[in-house]
Amino acid sequence: MNKIRKGDEVIILTGRDKKRRGIVSAVVGKDHLLVDGINVVKKHMKANPMNNNPGGITSKSMPIHISNVALFNKVTGKGERVLIKELDGVRTRIFRSDGSSVDNKS
């Protein structure tokens, strides 16, 4: 079970996007994430008429390492660490600071 999943709200801990928040759009491999609006780079694309691609300069979101993000806790307003506990035979993610469940957020 991964501590950070697709659809989670995270806060960036390091880099040029530090202290910005975003939603995880995809998990890339075992230790990288794609976060909407975070780590956006300019990519020079060559035109390809076979794929109907006009080319030019486009913006692209690049993966960020999982160690550079923390799960955002709406109650405390901070990024926090997560632990995984088994409650009633079901593995759930729990914030370390206050013990509230991550999965039962609404």
Domain harbouring 32, CATH code:
2.30.30.30
- Indicate the pTM of the whole model: 0.82
Q: Is residue 28 part of a domain?
A: yes
Q: Give residue 2's pLDDT band: very low, low, confident or very high (50, 70, 90).
A: confident
| Mean pLDDT over each residue of the chain, to the nearest integer | 92
97 domain-assigned? no
Q: What is the DSSP letter of 62?
A: -
Distances (CA, A) of 82 to 45, 55, 56, 102: 39, 42, 42, 8
Q: Could you read off the pLDDT of 60-105 as tens digits, one per residue?
A: 999 999 999 999 999 999 999 999 999 888 899 999 988 888 876 5
Residue 48 near residue 60, CB atoms below 8 Å = no
106 has pLDDT over 50: no
Tell me which residue range forms the domain holding 30: 9-79
Number of domains into which the chain is organized: 1
Give residue 87's pLDDT. Answer: 84
User: Is residue 56 in some structural domain?
Assistant: yes
- Per-residue pLDDT at 1 exceeds 50: yes
* pLDDT confidence of residue 98: 87
